[in-house]
């Protein structure tokens, strides 16, 4: 049996690894989301300019009142989308949300390198959150899931 056209190659094993790690991380998603974003800005400080709520902020990043909820939303959406990937056979973020994300990422000038930095930061955050579970296979599974979400957002990146 061949894979149906356009379907995502996300195996049962990959799904299990993502699900297992997300179950552990879920309860710390606010803290992990913030960690994830602080890593992004550590690697690419210029990325802060992409966020209107950070541009004129006078407080340290981790104290910015808007960063933590934003970071948590992004982290949770990314993880929930990864968990659903195999069951749904596609990214399960609502179409309206994808359209909005696409438009916002387009307008703020997000480019491929930003997505790469974000992927690296995400994988590092997960690795630190579940060190005893982490493996090349788990890294790969999360990488595939992230790439699918990015592809779905990029497909909507237009004015």
CATH code of the domain in which 129 resides: 1.10.490.10
Residue 17 lies in a domain: no
Residue 42 lies inside a defined structural domain of this protein: yes
The pLDDT of residue 3 is 43
Give the domain extent around 35: 24-154
In the chain, where does DSSP find H-type helix?
12-25, 29-43, 52-55, 67-88, 95-107, 112-129, 136-154
Give which of 54, 42, 156, 63 is closest to 110, Cα–Cα: 156
Residue 50's Cα: distance from chain center in Å?
A: 16
Predicted confidence at residue 7, as pLDDT, reads 54
In this prediction, residue 87 carries a pLDDT of 85
CA atoms within 13 A on the CB side of 71: 29
Q: Which of 72, 65, 64, 62 is CA-nearest to residue 27?
A: 72
> Please, what are the averages of pLDDT over each run of 10 residues along the chain (159 residues)?
55 94 96 96 92 88 92 93 86 84 88 93 98 97 94 87
* Per-residue pLDDT, 5: 43
The residues, any chain, with a CB within 8 Å of residue 52's CB and separated by 6 or more, are none
- The Cα–Cα gap between 135 and 35 comes to 20
Q: Is residue 94 part of a domain?
A: yes
- Asked whether residue 14 is domain-assigned, the answer is no
pLDDT value at position 8? 64
Instruction: Give the chain's domain count.
Output: 1
End-to-end CA, the chain: 40
What pLDDT was estimated at residue 38? Answer: 96
Instruction: Decide if 74 is inside a domain.
Output: yes
């Amino acid at each position: 049996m061949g894979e149906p056209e356009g379907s995502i190659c996300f195996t049962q094993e990959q799904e299990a690894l993502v699900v297992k790690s997300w179950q552990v991380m879920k309860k710390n998603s606010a803290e992990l989301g913030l960690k994830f974003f602080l890593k992004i800005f550590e690697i690419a400080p210029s990325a802060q300019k992409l966020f209107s709520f950070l541009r004129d902020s006078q407080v340290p990043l981790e104290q910015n009142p808007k960063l933590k909820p934003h970071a948590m939303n992004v982290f949770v959406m990314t993880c929930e989308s990864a968990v659903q990937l195999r069951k749904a056979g596609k990214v399960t973020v609502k179409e309206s949300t994808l359209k909005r994300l696409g438009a916002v990422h387009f307008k703020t000038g997000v480019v491929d390198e930003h997505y790469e930095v974000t992927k690296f930061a995400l994988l590092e955050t997960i690795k630190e959150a579940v060190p005893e579970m982490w493996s090349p296979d788990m890294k790969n599974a999360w990488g595939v899931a992230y790439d699918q979400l990015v592809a779905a957002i990029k497909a909507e990146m237009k004015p």
